[in-house]
Protein backbone atom coordinates (compact mmCIF):
# COMPACT_ATOMS: atom_id res chain seq x y z
CA UNK A 1 0.00 0.00 0.00
CA UNK A 2 2.95 2.31 0.61
CA UNK A 3 4.23 1.63 -2.90
CA UNK A 4 0.74 2.11 -4.35
CA UNK A 5 0.37 5.45 -2.57
CA UNK A 6 3.52 6.71 -4.27
CA UNK A 7 2.94 5.15 -7.69
CA UNK A 8 -0.62 6.40 -8.17
CA UNK A 9 0.63 9.99 -7.82
CA UNK A 10 2.84 9.68 -10.90
CA UNK A 11 3.23 11.60 -13.12
CA UNK A 12 1.53 14.34 -11.08
CA UNK A 13 4.12 14.15 -8.30
CA UNK A 14 7.43 12.48 -9.26
CA UNK A 15 9.19 10.21 -6.78
CA UNK A 16 12.00 12.76 -6.32
CA UNK A 17 9.46 15.14 -4.74
CA UNK A 18 7.94 12.60 -2.34
CA UNK A 19 8.77 12.74 1.36
CA UNK A 20 7.79 10.15 3.96
CA UNK A 21 7.51 10.60 7.72
CA UNK A 22 7.80 7.31 9.57
CA UNK A 23 9.33 5.95 12.77
CA UNK A 24 12.90 4.87 13.39
CA UNK A 25 12.03 1.16 13.32
CA UNK A 26 10.44 1.35 9.86
CA UNK A 27 12.67 3.90 8.11
CA UNK A 28 14.98 1.32 6.53
CA UNK A 29 12.01 -0.72 5.32
CA UNK A 30 10.40 2.37 3.79
CA UNK A 31 13.61 3.13 1.90
CA UNK A 32 13.69 -0.43 0.55
CA UNK A 33 10.08 -0.23 -0.62
CA UNK A 34 10.41 3.23 -2.22
CA UNK A 35 13.71 2.96 -4.05
CA UNK A 36 12.92 5.89 -6.36
CA UNK A 37 12.40 8.21 -3.40
CA UNK A 38 15.66 9.86 -2.26
CA UNK A 39 16.89 8.21 0.94
CA UNK A 40 17.15 11.54 2.76
CA UNK A 41 13.46 12.17 2.02
CA UNK A 42 12.50 9.44 4.51
CA UNK A 43 12.25 11.26 7.83
CA UNK A 44 12.33 9.14 10.98
CA UNK A 45 10.58 10.35 14.13
CA UNK A 46 12.52 9.40 17.28
CA UNK A 47 9.13 9.09 19.04
CA UNK A 48 5.56 9.33 17.80
CA UNK A 49 4.00 12.74 18.44
CA UNK A 50 0.86 12.48 16.29
CA UNK A 51 0.09 14.05 12.91
CA UNK A 52 0.55 17.77 13.66
CA UNK A 53 4.19 17.18 14.62
CA UNK A 54 4.80 14.74 11.76
CA UNK A 55 3.47 17.18 9.16
CA UNK A 56 5.45 19.96 10.81
CA UNK A 57 8.64 17.91 10.51
CA UNK A 58 8.01 17.46 6.80
CA UNK A 59 7.16 21.15 6.39
CA UNK A 60 10.46 22.44 7.74
CA UNK A 61 12.37 20.06 5.46
CA UNK A 62 10.35 21.17 2.44
CA UNK A 63 10.94 24.79 3.35
CA UNK A 64 14.67 24.16 3.59
CA UNK A 65 14.87 22.38 0.21
CA UNK A 66 12.23 24.14 -1.90
CA UNK A 67 11.16 27.29 -0.11
CA UNK A 68 7.40 27.91 -0.06
CA UNK A 69 6.34 24.64 -1.73
CA UNK A 70 2.79 23.35 -2.05
CA UNK A 71 2.30 20.30 0.18
CA UNK A 72 0.03 17.31 -0.32
CA UNK A 73 -0.38 15.38 2.94
CA UNK A 74 -1.45 11.82 2.08
CA UNK A 75 -1.70 8.81 4.41
CA UNK A 76 0.09 5.72 3.10
CA UNK A 77 -2.54 3.14 4.03
CA UNK A 78 -5.44 4.13 1.79
CA UNK A 79 -7.00 2.13 -1.01
CA UNK A 80 -8.12 4.11 -4.06
CA UNK A 81 -10.27 2.23 -6.54
CA UNK A 82 -10.10 4.88 -9.30
CA UNK A 83 -6.54 6.29 -9.41
CA UNK A 84 -7.11 8.32 -12.59
CA UNK A 85 -10.06 10.21 -11.15
CA UNK A 86 -8.14 10.60 -7.90
CA UNK A 87 -5.21 12.25 -9.69
CA UNK A 88 -7.59 14.74 -11.28
CA UNK A 89 -8.99 15.67 -7.88
CA UNK A 90 -5.49 15.96 -6.39
CA UNK A 91 -4.48 18.26 -9.26
CA UNK A 92 -7.45 20.52 -8.52
CA UNK A 93 -6.63 20.50 -4.81
CA UNK A 94 -3.02 21.45 -5.47
CA UNK A 95 -4.07 24.38 -7.65
CA UNK A 96 -6.48 25.73 -5.02
CA UNK A 97 -3.90 25.19 -2.27
CA UNK A 98 -1.27 27.13 -4.23
CA UNK A 99 -3.08 30.34 -3.27
CA UNK A 100 -1.49 31.54 0.01
CA UNK A 101 -3.82 31.14 2.97
CA UNK A 102 -5.89 28.30 1.49
CA UNK A 103 -6.31 25.02 3.38
CA UNK A 104 -7.84 22.20 1.31
CA UNK A 105 -9.10 18.79 2.43
CA UNK A 106 -10.57 15.91 0.44
CA UNK A 107 -13.95 14.68 1.67
CA UNK A 108 -15.26 11.18 1.02
CA UNK A 109 -19.01 11.02 0.27
CA UNK A 110 -20.32 8.66 2.99
CA UNK A 111 -21.92 5.42 1.85
CA UNK A 112 -23.23 4.45 5.29
CA UNK A 113 -23.47 6.02 8.78
CA UNK A 114 -19.92 5.20 9.91
CA UNK A 115 -19.11 6.01 13.55
CA UNK A 116 -15.37 5.41 13.21
CA UNK A 117 -14.58 8.47 11.06
CA UNK A 118 -14.59 12.21 11.62
CA UNK A 119 -16.95 14.23 9.42
CA UNK A 120 -16.69 17.50 7.47
CA UNK A 121 -19.73 19.74 7.07
CA UNK A 122 -19.74 21.62 3.77
CA UNK A 123 -21.20 25.02 2.99
CA UNK A 124 -21.59 26.73 -0.37
CA UNK A 125 -19.32 26.33 -3.39
CA UNK A 126 -16.26 28.49 -2.78
CA UNK A 127 -14.20 27.95 -5.92
CA UNK A 128 -13.72 25.68 -8.92
CA UNK A 129 -10.59 24.16 -10.46
CA UNK A 130 -10.19 21.85 -13.47
CA UNK A 131 -13.97 21.49 -13.60
CA UNK A 132 -14.13 20.34 -9.95
CA UNK A 133 -16.12 22.19 -7.28
CA UNK A 134 -14.67 22.99 -3.86
CA UNK A 135 -16.96 23.92 -0.96
CA UNK A 136 -16.30 26.07 2.08
CA UNK A 137 -15.94 24.02 5.25
CA UNK A 138 -18.33 24.97 8.02
CA UNK A 139 -16.85 22.67 10.63
CA UNK A 140 -15.02 19.45 11.37
CA UNK A 141 -16.76 17.06 13.74
CA UNK A 142 -15.33 14.09 15.58
CA UNK A 143 -16.54 10.50 15.45
CA UNK A 144 -20.31 10.72 16.05
CA UNK A 145 -22.80 8.43 17.74
CA UNK A 146 -24.75 6.21 15.34
CA UNK A 147 -27.92 8.32 15.36
CA UNK A 148 -25.92 11.48 14.64
CA UNK A 149 -24.03 9.71 11.86
CA UNK A 150 -27.36 8.74 10.29
CA UNK A 151 -28.45 12.41 10.34
CA UNK A 152 -25.16 13.46 8.72
CA UNK A 153 -25.51 10.94 5.89
CA UNK A 154 -29.17 11.72 5.20
CA UNK A 155 -28.49 15.48 5.06
CA UNK A 156 -26.09 15.16 2.10
CA UNK A 157 -23.97 17.96 3.58
CA UNK A 158 -21.28 15.88 5.27
CA UNK A 159 -18.18 14.02 4.10
CA UNK A 160 -15.89 11.58 5.81
CA UNK A 161 -12.57 13.15 6.76
CA UNK A 162 -9.94 10.98 5.05
CA UNK A 163 -6.97 12.98 6.37
CA UNK A 164 -5.78 14.17 2.94
CA UNK A 165 -4.73 17.84 3.09
CA UNK A 166 -3.19 20.43 0.75
CA UNK A 167 -1.59 23.82 1.46
CA UNK A 168 1.52 25.90 1.00
CA UNK A 169 4.32 25.39 3.49
CA UNK A 170 3.95 29.03 4.56
CA UNK A 171 0.18 28.61 5.05
CA UNK A 172 0.69 25.55 7.25
CA UNK A 173 3.46 27.16 9.32
CA UNK A 174 1.43 30.35 9.80
CA UNK A 175 -1.48 28.31 11.15
CA UNK A 176 0.87 26.24 13.29
CA UNK A 177 2.31 29.43 14.79
CA UNK A 178 -1.20 30.68 15.45
CA UNK A 179 -2.61 27.57 17.09
CA UNK A 180 0.48 25.69 18.40
CA UNK A 181 3.08 28.40 18.99
CA UNK A 182 5.38 26.27 21.17
CA UNK A 183 5.55 23.50 18.56
CA UNK A 184 6.11 26.11 15.85
CA UNK A 185 9.05 27.65 17.72
CA UNK A 186 10.58 24.25 18.39
CA UNK A 187 10.32 23.16 14.76
CA UNK A 188 11.84 26.40 13.48
CA UNK A 189 14.74 25.85 15.87
CA UNK A 190 15.12 22.30 14.54
CA UNK A 191 14.90 23.57 10.97
CA UNK A 192 18.05 25.64 11.44
CA UNK A 193 19.99 22.43 12.10
CA UNK A 194 18.87 20.62 8.90
CA UNK A 195 21.88 19.71 6.78
CA UNK A 196 24.34 20.10 9.66
CA UNK A 197 26.08 17.59 11.91
CA UNK A 198 23.92 18.82 14.80
CA UNK A 199 20.59 17.83 13.25
CA UNK A 200 20.35 14.24 14.57
CA UNK A 201 21.04 15.27 18.17
CA UNK A 202 18.66 18.23 17.90
CA UNK A 203 15.90 15.98 16.54
CA UNK A 204 16.23 13.57 19.47
CA UNK A 205 16.23 16.47 21.92
CA UNK A 206 13.49 18.64 20.45
CA UNK A 207 10.99 16.26 18.87
CA UNK A 208 9.82 14.48 22.06
CA UNK A 209 8.86 17.90 23.48
CA UNK A 210 6.43 18.71 20.66
CA UNK A 211 2.73 18.70 21.49
CA UNK A 212 1.10 15.30 20.96
CA UNK A 213 -1.99 16.28 18.97
CA UNK A 214 -3.58 15.45 15.64
CA UNK A 215 -3.67 17.92 12.76
CA UNK A 216 -7.48 17.81 12.94
CA UNK A 217 -7.60 19.08 16.52
CA UNK A 218 -4.54 21.31 16.27
CA UNK A 219 -5.37 23.25 13.11
CA UNK A 220 -8.32 22.13 10.99
CA UNK A 221 -11.05 22.35 13.65
CA UNK A 222 -9.73 25.67 14.97
CA UNK A 223 -9.35 27.13 11.49
CA UNK A 224 -13.08 26.70 10.82
CA UNK A 225 -14.30 28.43 13.96
CA UNK A 226 -16.24 31.68 13.38
CA UNK A 227 -13.49 33.89 14.77
CA UNK A 228 -10.89 32.37 12.46
CA UNK A 229 -10.06 34.10 9.19
CA UNK A 230 -8.65 30.98 7.56
CA UNK A 231 -10.03 29.78 4.22
CA UNK A 232 -10.78 26.07 4.42
CA UNK A 233 -12.23 24.18 1.45
CA UNK A 234 -13.37 20.59 0.93
CA UNK A 235 -13.36 18.80 -2.42
CA UNK A 236 -15.66 15.77 -2.76
CA UNK A 237 -13.57 12.72 -3.67
CA UNK A 238 -15.67 9.78 -4.81
CA UNK A 239 -12.77 7.58 -5.90
CA UNK A 240 -13.49 4.12 -4.48
CA UNK A 241 -11.71 5.07 -1.26
CA UNK A 242 -11.13 2.89 1.80
CA UNK A 243 -8.69 3.51 4.63
CA UNK A 244 -8.43 -0.22 5.43
CA UNK A 245 -8.54 1.02 9.02
CA UNK A 246 -10.43 -1.93 10.45
CA UNK A 247 -11.06 -5.59 9.76
CA UNK A 248 -14.56 -4.60 8.69
CA UNK A 249 -13.07 -2.33 6.02
CA UNK A 250 -10.94 -5.23 4.79
CA UNK A 251 -14.08 -7.36 4.50
CA UNK A 252 -15.97 -4.65 2.59
CA UNK A 253 -13.08 -4.25 0.17
CA UNK A 254 -12.85 -7.98 -0.59
CA UNK A 255 -16.50 -9.04 -0.54
CA UNK A 256 -17.95 -9.12 -4.05
CA UNK A 257 -21.53 -9.76 -2.96
CA UNK A 258 -23.57 -9.00 0.13
CA UNK A 259 -23.29 -11.81 2.66
CA UNK A 260 -20.10 -13.32 1.24
CA UNK A 261 -17.85 -15.18 3.67
CA UNK A 262 -14.23 -14.13 3.17
CA UNK A 263 -11.32 -16.22 4.40
CA UNK A 264 -7.55 -15.78 4.17
CA UNK A 265 -7.08 -19.55 4.44
CA UNK A 266 -9.05 -22.79 4.08
CA UNK A 267 -12.59 -22.64 5.40
CA UNK A 268 -15.94 -24.43 5.45
CA UNK A 269 -19.18 -22.59 6.25
CA UNK A 270 -22.68 -23.85 6.92
CA UNK A 271 -25.64 -21.46 7.31
CA UNK A 272 -23.18 -18.61 7.82
CA UNK A 273 -22.89 -15.24 6.06
CA UNK A 274 -21.02 -11.94 6.13
CA UNK A 275 -17.99 -13.24 8.05
CA UNK A 276 -14.29 -12.48 7.69
CA UNK A 277 -11.74 -15.10 8.80
CA UNK A 278 -8.01 -14.48 9.07
CA UNK A 279 -6.39 -17.82 9.80
CA UNK A 280 -3.92 -18.60 7.00
CA UNK A 281 -2.67 -21.87 8.50
CA UNK A 282 -5.73 -23.46 10.10
CA UNK A 283 -9.03 -24.59 8.64
CA UNK A 284 -11.89 -22.42 9.87
CA UNK A 285 -15.22 -24.24 10.16
CA UNK A 286 -18.19 -21.95 10.85
CA UNK A 287 -21.77 -23.00 11.56
CA UNK A 288 -24.69 -20.63 11.94
CA UNK A 289 -22.76 -17.41 12.50
CA UNK A 290 -23.20 -14.04 10.79
CA UNK A 291 -21.21 -10.84 10.39
CA UNK A 292 -18.26 -11.82 12.58
CA UNK A 293 -14.56 -11.01 12.41
CA UNK A 294 -12.25 -13.86 13.43
CA UNK A 295 -8.50 -13.17 13.43
CA UNK A 296 -6.08 -15.85 14.59
CA UNK A 297 -2.34 -15.26 15.03
CA UNK A 298 0.36 -17.25 16.81
CA UNK A 299 -0.25 -15.54 20.15
CA UNK A 300 -3.80 -14.14 20.10
CA UNK A 301 -7.36 -14.67 18.88
CA UNK A 302 -9.78 -11.84 18.07
CA UNK A 303 -13.55 -12.35 17.91
CA UNK A 304 -15.91 -9.45 17.30
CA UNK A 305 -19.02 -8.43 15.33
CA UNK A 306 -18.14 -6.66 12.08
CA UNK A 307 -20.00 -3.54 13.17
CA UNK A 308 -17.72 -3.22 16.21
CA UNK A 309 -14.40 -3.68 14.42
CA UNK A 310 -13.41 -0.08 15.22
CA UNK A 311 -13.35 -1.03 18.92
CA UNK A 312 -10.15 -3.02 18.36
CA UNK A 313 -8.40 0.22 19.29
CA UNK A 314 -9.77 -0.18 22.83
CA UNK A 315 -8.02 -3.54 23.06
CA UNK A 316 -4.78 -1.90 21.96
CA UNK A 317 -5.22 0.73 24.68
CA UNK A 318 -5.84 -1.99 27.29
CA UNK A 319 -2.70 -3.85 26.18
CA UNK A 320 -0.66 -0.65 26.46
CA UNK A 321 -2.05 0.16 29.91
CA UNK A 322 -1.26 -3.36 31.11
CA UNK A 323 2.19 -3.38 29.48
CA UNK A 324 1.42 -6.34 27.25
CA UNK A 325 3.81 -4.94 24.68
CA UNK A 326 4.60 -8.31 23.10
CA UNK A 327 1.02 -8.47 21.85
CA UNK A 328 1.02 -5.04 20.24
| 30-47 tens-digit pLDDT | 999 999 999 999 999 999
CA pair distance 54, 20, nearest whole angstrom: 10
Name 193's Cβ contacts closer than 8 Å, sequence gap at least 6.
Answer: 199, 202, 203
Residue 244: per-residue pLDDT = 80
CB atoms within 10 A of CB 133: 16
In the chain, which residues fall in CATH 3.90.550.10? Answer: 2-242
The pLDDT assigned to 168 comes to 98
Distance CA 30, CA 21 (A): 10
* Biggest alpha carbon–alpha carbon distance for the chain: 65
Q: What is the pLDDT of residue 97?
A: 97
> 263 and 282 in contact (C-beta within 8 Å)?
no
Query: pTM here?
Result: 0.86
Summarize pLDDT for 100-152 with one digit per residue, the tens: 999 999 999 998 898 888 999 999 999 999 999 999 999 999 889 999 999 99
45-80: per-residue pLDDT in tens? Answer: 999 999 999 999 999 999 999 999 999 999 998 999
- Overall average pLDDT of the 191-219 stretch: 96
Look up the CATH number of domain 2-242. 3.90.550.10
Whether residue 323 has pLDDT greater than 90: no
Amino acid sequence: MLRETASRLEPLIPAKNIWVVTNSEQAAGVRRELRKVPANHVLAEPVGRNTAAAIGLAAIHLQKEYGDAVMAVLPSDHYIGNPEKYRGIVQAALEIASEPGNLVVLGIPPVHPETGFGYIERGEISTRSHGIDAYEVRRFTEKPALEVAKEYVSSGKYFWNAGMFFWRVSTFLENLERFLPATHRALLSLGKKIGTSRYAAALKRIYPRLENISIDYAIMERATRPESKSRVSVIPAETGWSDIGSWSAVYELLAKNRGDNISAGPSFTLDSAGNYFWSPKKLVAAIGIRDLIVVETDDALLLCPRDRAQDVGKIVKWLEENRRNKLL
